[in-house]
Structure 1
């Protein structure tokens, strides 16, 4: 077999390896760099624990940069840290638990519903306990004074952003929300120091949202983020970070309770803003109700 054939064979063998096998292969490799060996050893020794860590949290725990972890994940055949976590979870977590760790295939319908309500009630209570009223009050002021508000979110967080936009309009506050990612980037690039970018991402690790924030920062716009309570890339970029607490899941974007906690936080902001500008909000509510009443019984 020639050199090209051997390389192709090695590539196919590595592609078929499980996540643990790739980590072992990298840790014990003859040409593995010191930092790569350190990361591989930590991930093997803390395989399950690392599944619940954000990129920045893991970097702190290992004592390396977040960029080093991303490069490491690419070196073992993944596109980045998120793909590594998905493959690690698929190898580590029993399939029924991948949907949600609190649920079991043996649960009857009543037990499933009871557990979901308990999870969501707990998330609301924990989020309330973490609430910083002074920051919430300041954020309400910043939003009311903004010349322009850009809302950014993808996936489920975009749904929360859309609900927020709808409720803001009811009290007379206009906010923009583009679904297209290119339009989000274009809009952020046109913000000014009088404007606000409000970014929603449960994991706080969405690279597209981070890129949008960076564009807004270059324009000196104020940055507000709403993420889970953790060390993550969006929080580090925020002028005003807001947090939700939800149940632990392997894939943060699939958290049952995250959306409910996000909506509760956003409802609090709308109420704070409405009472800070009570007369204006009341007039806007009357106008918007009349405008939509024609199609209602």
Structure 2
């Protein structure tokens, strides 16, 4: 999704992203001009590059790339890269149809499944790399430390983000953390109202603009809990509420393939958080895992009980 930036180049509304970069080149800082020159010199390479790759190619930094994207009115590098790929023909030039909107321009109804699989992997891999390149690991460690000390942990998410919320809560639960997941606004608000200082509230929203999730986290914040946002938009309303924001790469095209990849990026962050918690409370986490295993051993097939894989 594009959003209006006060500094965005004043190119004609119908202009493509490359024309807008050319049109506004004179308004860019020296560092962002290097990024623009690199993109214009080889748009197809820019469409394939990760944020770290483009920073290296242009002799700049990931922070400069992010500022460049926002200058153009994009939420982040993943969104800009999709726009460049579409314009250069890497994405299909087909007329936009209901299929294009819901599945994606990169995948055609007649494509064989091996090509579909490769396209999905390409989209997933690009977003996962962007997440790895931009995720604040220090913030992950701080969140993990607070979760380890928390009396209880609430995790909120609705719609597509509910899948990520459930996985995060289950990761905590498996390692002995008192964690609950809430995907319905009334139940979530009632639980948030019972939180207090020392508790932790996670809100998962890929867009960062889901009203229900924002309301849930706001309630937890008003009760004194540490609030954490897991979102694809570090400048969103949800991120502004949170004490700590963990960002995963996402695009705003609305295509199903991109939405799936965005969810996978968020799941990567969720997995990292719960593993960081398990590391920091290793003895207790190990005991919880072993206790769970012993409790259900009688319901496993005999081959598994005997250690067979």
TM-score, normalized by the shorter chain, greater than 0.5: yes
Shift of residue 140, structure 1, vs aligned partner:
0.5
Indicate yes or no: 2:98 matched with 1:95: yes
CA distance in 1, matches of 2:228, 2:97: 37
Cα pair distance change 1:230/1:274, threshold 3 Å: closer
Cα pair distance change 1:253/1:221, threshold 3 Å: farther
Kindly indicate whether the alpha-carbon contact (under 8 Å) linking 1:171 and 1:280 is maintained by their aligned counterparts in 2.
yes
Quote the residue 1:296 is aligned against: 300
CA distance in 1, matches of 2:15, 2:118: 31
Quote the residue 1:285 is aligned against: 289
Indicate yes or no: 2:215 matched with 1:211: yes
Indicate yes or no: 2:13 matched with 1:45: yes
Task: Give 1:111's match in structure 2, choosing from 112, 115, 119.
Answer: 115
Kindly indicate whether the alpha-carbon contact (under 8 Å) linking 1:101 and 1:249 is maintained by their aligned counterparts in 2.
no
Shift of residue 248, structure 1, vs aligned partner:
4.4
Aligned length in residues: 217
Task: Give 2:231's match in structure 1, choosing from 227, 231, 238.
Answer: 227
Kindly indicate whether the alpha-carbon contact (under 8 Å) linking 1:165 and 1:174 is maintained by their aligned counterparts in 2.
no
Task: Give 2:138's match in structure 1, choosing from 125, 134, 139.
Answer: 134
Structure 1's unaligned 5+ residue stretches are 1-41, 50-56, 62-91
Shift of residue 206, structure 1, vs aligned partner:
0.1
In the TM superposition, structure 1's runs of 4+ consecutive aligned residues that sit over 3 Å from their partners are 44-49, 251-254
Kindly indicate whether the alpha-carbon contact (under 8 Å) linking 1:199 and 1:224 is maintained by their aligned counterparts in 2.
yes
Shift of residue 276, structure 1, vs aligned partner:
1.0
Cα pair distance change 1:234/1:214, threshold 3 Å: same
CA distance in 2, matches of 1:45, 1:173: 51
Shift of residue 267, structure 1, vs aligned partner:
1.2
Deviations 1:93-136 (A, max 9, x none): 43221122332224222111110011112211111111211111
Quote the residue 2:192 is aligned against: 188
Kindly indicate whether the alpha-carbon contact (under 8 Å) linking 1:225 and 1:238 is maintained by their aligned counterparts in 2.
yes
Q: Which moved more, 1:143-152 or 1:224-233?
A: 224-233
CA distance in 2, matches of 1:227, 1:244: 6
2:227 partner SS: strand
Structure 2's unaligned 5+ residue stretches are 1-9, 18-68, 74-94, 302-309
CA distance in 2, matches of 1:125, 1:220: 35
Mark the structure with the bigger radius of gyration: 1
Quote the residue 1:262 is aligned against: 266
Indicate yes or no: 2:135 matched with 1:120: no
Kindly indicate whether the alpha-carbon contact (under 8 Å) linking 1:202 and 1:252 is maintained by their aligned counterparts in 2.
no
Indicate yes or no: 2:127 matched with 1:145: no
Kindly indicate whether the alpha-carbon contact (under 8 Å) linking 2:230 and 2:248 is maintained by their aligned counterparts in 1.
yes
Q: Normalising by structure 1, what TM-score?
A: 0.67
RMSD: 2.7
Cα pair distance change 1:244/1:180, threshold 3 Å: same
CA distance in 2, matches of 1:217, 1:162: 21
CA distance in 1, matches of 2:186, 2:124: 34
Shift of residue 179, structure 1, vs aligned partner:
3.2
Deviations 1:34-83 (A, max 9, x none): xxxxxxxx9x937999xxxxxxx99x96xxxxxxxxxxxxxxxxxxxxxx
Cα pair distance change 1:253/1:155, threshold 3 Å: farther
Kindly indicate whether the alpha-carbon contact (under 8 Å) linking 1:156 and 1:253 is maintained by their aligned counterparts in 2.
no
Shift of residue 198, structure 1, vs aligned partner:
0.2
Shift of residue 236, structure 1, vs aligned partner:
0.9
Shift of residue 159, structure 1, vs aligned partner:
1.4
